[in-house]
Amino acid sequence: MAKVITPRSEDYSRWYTDVVTQSQMADYSPVKGCMVIRPLGYSVWEGMQRELDARFKETGHQNAYFPLFIPESYLHKEAKHVEGFAPECAVVTHGGGKKLEEPLVVRPTSETIIYAMYAKWIRSYRDLPVLINQWANVVRWEMRTRLFLRTTEFLWQEGHTAHATEAEAEDEALRILEIYRRFVEDHMATPVYTGLKTESEKFAGALRTYCIEALMPDGKALQAGTSHNLGQNFSKAFEVKFQTQEGDWAHVWQTSWGVSTRLIGALVMEHGDDNGLSLPPRLAPVQVVIVPIWKTDEEKRRIAEVARLAVEELKGAFRVQADLRDEVSPGWKFNEWELKGVPLRLEIGPKDLEKDQFLAVRRTDRKKTPVPRGALVARTGALLEEIQSEMLEKARAFLRQNTRDATDYTAFKKALDEVGGFFRAHWCGSPECERRIKDETKATIRCIPLEGNREEGRCLICGARSARWVYLARAY
Amino acid sequence: MAKVITPRSEDYSRWYTDVVTQSQMADYSPVKGCMVIRPLGYSVWEGMQRELDARFKETGHQNAYFPLFIPESYLHKEAKHVEGFAPECAVVTHGGGKKLEEPLVVRPTSETIIYAMYAKWIRSYRDLPVLINQWANVVRWEMRTRLFLRTTEFLWQEGHTAHATEAEAEDEALRILEIYRRFVEDHMATPVYTGLKTESEKFAGALRTYCIEALMPDGKALQAGTSHNLGQNFSKAFEVKFQTQEGDWAHVWQTSWGVSTRLIGALVMEHGDDNGLSLPPRLAPVQVVIVPIWKTDEEKRRIAEVARLAVEELKGAFRVQADLRDEVSPGWKFNEWELKGVPLRLEIGPKDLEKDQFLAVRRTDRKKTPVPRGALVARTGALLEEIQSEMLEKARAFLRQNTRDATDYTAFKKALDEVGGFFRAHWCGSPECERRIKDETKATIRCIPLEGNREEGRCLICGARSARWVYLARAY
């Protein structure tokens, strides 16, 4: 607590690292590229898991667990897939004191090992659809790492489904994209653009990759989740076949999809400020903290008792705790709980006691509201909902204000450098124009929106006629 | 389903594998020593996680996540620890296409990497106790593997705590042992003996290892969980120090403790039979299955509707599903749900419909009880509780009947071969006698009970005077 968070306006990157480490969300580990997720960060992840897992199960998915290790040869079965992932792999060459006959790759993603099992399990149309999800750790070797956003090891979920028809697989990929979009908006209070990745940006081995893209306060986009329609690319490579109702043999149609602990990084950036974290109530491990203020022993006795009763009253409905420590001052406690992002603080001092009330202080804007003790549960609930929806509204306004139309390439480059954000621009569809934007501006096509972009225009780069616009941005 | 489970009396080991694979709890993977936990097995694990996690949190523990990889040099910092684990390690030598400067070990357990972080985080008595748990995968290279019971990669939880005093650490180790014992008895319906491991059987690096030991139907013991008082062995190796209230510096006192997916193997063996799995209601992913029986379309229409209503009525209180498939017969469904271990089946045919009842059939003994539709929820609850407690009683009787006093070494060896089970025997405490038993009989001292074993006697091996008896058994 003696340390000070670097102001965001001074150094965005240091601000981010300061918030993550000083709030004790996470820490650097002695292993290069690997992080430690501390209890506060992990409990945010548990909240995300709880919500997403419920949505996956509601839509018929089941969890399972597949091996951490993948024989190197498996990665090679799908040509594009190995090209994309082989350079990032950690390789186990020795086990039990001996050199292995075939090296094992630590999973960077599990398509290959999972589909080898599907080839064994799936025989008939009656076995379909297979709707399996896995919560797991994965490893992708990274040179430049950032806590949560880019680490060699990270935690994620990866869904892997197999279907009898192409249409079913496409529906599944879009159903999951919608689950992701709603979770990120409803719980993380983070609005996103949804759409399709270009050919050059899609998942290695996919037919089509759908994604959700958020905008961070520094004007950079962040890919928050992807859902892939894999077509029959993997089912052909791994011979995942089934007998149809008509008695023929066919390859299954597949999807895979995932979100990771990277979401925690997005959450920190989206809502944090120079005082630290600011967590949306629905994902805050502690939603309400009660901080008593006393001077005399008699005040302490009475106020501590009221605080304890309030915890009892609130804990059925909210994640609440009282900070009754003696060794630190109320002001110190205010700072600490603000740093840790608790959305609502209930202060109670001698004057509040007299008035039979708490003083509620919102983390987001420090706005104060007296809350009568008799209406504690109802008012706390209303305040938390208000905070949750205002956080989303604020983020929505930011996204709207920082999404601009780009029709002139020079003006676009200037705006990109000066203000960042998303740019709606026409693109002719050629890989050449896409590459030129990336090479010249470091911005990429984040996604091709699924609807509403079918107007006529001119490609931002080459001026050719274009029938659609796309979202451009620099990205994490 | 065309396959037949090998009868347990014919070949115990094949029976076990048949039950696990045919019920679709788990499957072999293409990676030697690694298994795939299929949805049924994983949902049992989720049930175990839910229960244990709640008990850990109730007692003040928080979850966190530490890196999968451990620098090889870390393992060497605690002399006994490296001796115990180095031979079992999987080693990553290459990452991102390059040879690593220092090889990384895939965690076989996480004491070393976690305590390196504790050394950084812990400064003052105010930071204590640290009560952290991690749900993770670990890797210990195994040559002879068995699904769930012994696999190269497995899932587990590992608790790691740090305390200001020796007494607190000891209390913690015993508190967790009791949490394990109660979970295994109350939820897995598996009674255990609790006690202390001998010096030669304790965890590599621990001061003392406490354990819970169950008895499998083949007469072999199975270690179901361990809780270690680590003393200051690791805190000295990793310099985990804190400033006391008096201002001195002291090393922390530590514990670590874990249970793993091995528990699922114990569950399968403890209650399974020649028809497959039999799951205790509290851990069964599906507690109740409704199987309708119809011949005519009219019967089908009416009975399917009643089954659907019953699911609606039951699902608030139980994990229930109705099997309305048309393509398989009721008898086929009975077999399948028995194989998958569902504790209670509710049949409903035209005659039951007339009587406005279901016919409840218990998985354990196929005992049938009519259940009036009007009392469905209450009677289902009562039946499930009855099944749960009878499973525990049956297992308790088995443990009692298969725990024998051994006072004569020759008679002990004979009984060990003929009937197996636990043997209460006096042991003088010498490593020589312990080694001789192991070498000559393959039985080991499973644990030294914590109480009630302080009677005078003669060592089973050497005949010397002994002040305590221990539990001996052959073990998994």
The answer to whether the complex's ipTM is over 0.90 is yes
Contacts of B462 (CB under 8 A, 6+ apart): B428, B430, B432, B433
> If you average pLDDT over residues A384-389, what whole number do you get?
98
Which residues of chain B neighbour A120 with C-beta distances below 8 Å?
A: 27
Whether the CB of B25 is below 8 Å from some CB of chain A: the reply is no
Please tell me the predicted confidence (pLDDT) of residue B452. Answer: 72
Residue B276 domain-assigned?
no
Based on the fold, state whether residues B161 and B224 are members of the same structural domain: yes
Based on the fold, state whether residues B312 and B411 are members of the same structural domain: no
Give the predicted TM-score (pTM) of the model: 0.97
Whether the CB of A246 is below 8 Å from some CB of chain B: the reply is no
> If you average pLDDT over residues B242-267, what whole number do you get?
98
- Closest CB to B29: pick one of A37, A67, A95: A67
> If you average pLDDT over residues B257-275, what whole number do you get?
98
Whether the CB of B113 is below 8 Å from some CB of chain A: the reply is yes
Residue B426 domain-assigned?
yes
Based on the fold, state whether residues B62 and B148 are members of the same structural domain: yes
For testing the chain B interface, which of A77, A92, A156 should be mutated: the one with the most B CBs within 10 Å? A92
> If you average pLDDT over residues A193-212, what whole number do you get?
96
Based on the fold, state whether residues A151 and A226 are members of the same structural domain: yes
Q: Given B241, B271, B301, which residue is the final one in a domain?
A: B271
A42 contacts B62? CB cut-off 8 A: yes
Single-letter amino acid code for the residue at B10? E
> If you average pLDDT over residues B169-194, what whole number do you get?
98
Based on the fold, state whether residues B371 and B429 are members of the same structural domain: no
Based on the fold, state whether residues A430 and A347 are members of the same structural domain: no
pLDDT tens sequence across B54-96: 999 999 999 999 999 999 999 999 888 888 898 899 999 999 9
B residues 149..168 contacting A (CB < 8 A): 152-153, 155
CA dist., res. A218 & res. B369, Å (int): 67
Instruction: For residue A86, name the pLDDT band (cuts at 50, 70, 90).
Output: confident
CATH number at residue B449: 3.30.110.30
Based on the fold, state whether residues B205 and B352 are members of the same structural domain: no
Which residues of chain A neighbour B137 with C-beta distances below 8 Å?
A: 68, 136-137
Instruction: For residue B451, name the pLDDT band (cuts at 50, 70, 90).
Output: confident
Determine if the peptide bond prior to B129 is cis (ω within 30°).
Answer: yes
Which residues of chain A neighbour B70 with C-beta distances below 8 Å?
A: 31
Query: In terms of CA atoms, which chain B residue is nearest residue A285?
Result: B62
Please tell me the predicted confidence (pLDDT) of residue A474. Answer: 98
Residue A69's domain spans which residues?
12-271
For testing the chain A interface, which of B92, B138, B340 should be mutated: the one with the most A CBs within 10 Å? B92
Query: In this structure, what are the phi and psi dihedrals at residue B302, rounded to the nearest 5 degrees?
Result: -70, -45
Query: In terms of CA atoms, which chain A residue is nearest residue B131?
Result: A39
pLDDT tens sequence across A323-349: 999 989 999 999 999 999 999 999 999
- Closest CB to A93: pick one of B31, B91, B136: B91
Asked whether B69 and A95 are in contact (CB, 8 A), the reply is: no
Based on the fold, state whether residues B357 and B248 are members of the same structural domain: no
Please tell me the predicted confidence (pLDDT) of residue A138. Answer: 98
Please tell me the predicted confidence (pLDDT) of residue A260. Answer: 98
Which residues of chain A neighbour B103 with C-beta distances below 8 Å?
A: 94
A42 contacts B153? CB cut-off 8 A: no
Which residues of chain B neighbour A112 with C-beta distances below 8 Å?
A: none
CATH number at residue B193: 3.30.930.10
Chain B nearest C-alpha distance from A409 (Å) = 36
Which residues of chain B neighbour A30 with C-beta distances below 8 Å?
A: 71, 74, 113, 116
- pLDDT, averaged across chain B: 96
Is residue A1 scored above 70 in pLDDT?
A: no
pLDDT tens sequence across B125-139: 999 999 999 999 999
B155 contacts A104? CB cut-off 8 A: no
Whether the CB of B27 is below 8 Å from some CB of chain A: the reply is yes
Chain A nearest C-alpha distance from B106 (Å) = 9
Domain count, chain A: 3
* A275: nearest Cα among A103, A61, A18: A18
Based on the fold, state whether residues A41 and A161 are members of the same structural domain: yes
Query: In terms of CA atoms, which chain A residue is nearest residue B90?
Result: A95
* B169: nearest Cα among B203, B112, B211, B207: B207
B31 contacts A113? CB cut-off 8 A: yes
> If you average pLDDT over residues A216-238, what whole number do you get?
97
Q: Given B246, B271, B296, which residue is the final one in a domain?
A: B271
What would the two tokens of residue A126 be? Answer: 């009656």
Residue A2 domain-assigned?
no
Is residue B429 scored above 90 in pLDDT?
A: yes
CA dist., res. A335 & res. A285, Å (int): 17
B70 contacts A31? CB cut-off 8 A: yes
> If you average pLDDT over residues B243-247, what whole number do you get?
96
A residues 170..209 contacting B (CB < 8 A): none
pLDDT tens sequence across A405-463: 999 999 999 999 999 999 999 999 999 999 999 999 999 999 999 877 778 899 999 99
pLDDT tens sequence across A453-468: 778 899 999 999 998 9
How much of chain A exceeds pLDDT 70, in percent? 99
Based on the fold, state whether residues A445 and A378 are members of the same structural domain: no
Asked whether A434 and A445 are in contact (CB, 8 A), the reply is: yes
Asked whether B250 and B241 are in contact (CB, 8 A), the reply is: yes
CATH number at residue B298: 3.40.50.800
Based on the fold, state whether residues B182 and B216 are members of the same structural domain: yes
Q: Given B223, B248, B271, which residue is the final one in a domain?
A: B271
pLDDT tens sequence across A159-186: 999 999 999 999 999 999 999 999 999 9
How much of chain B exceeds pLDDT 70, in percent? 99
CA dist., res. B88 & res. A113, Å (int): 23
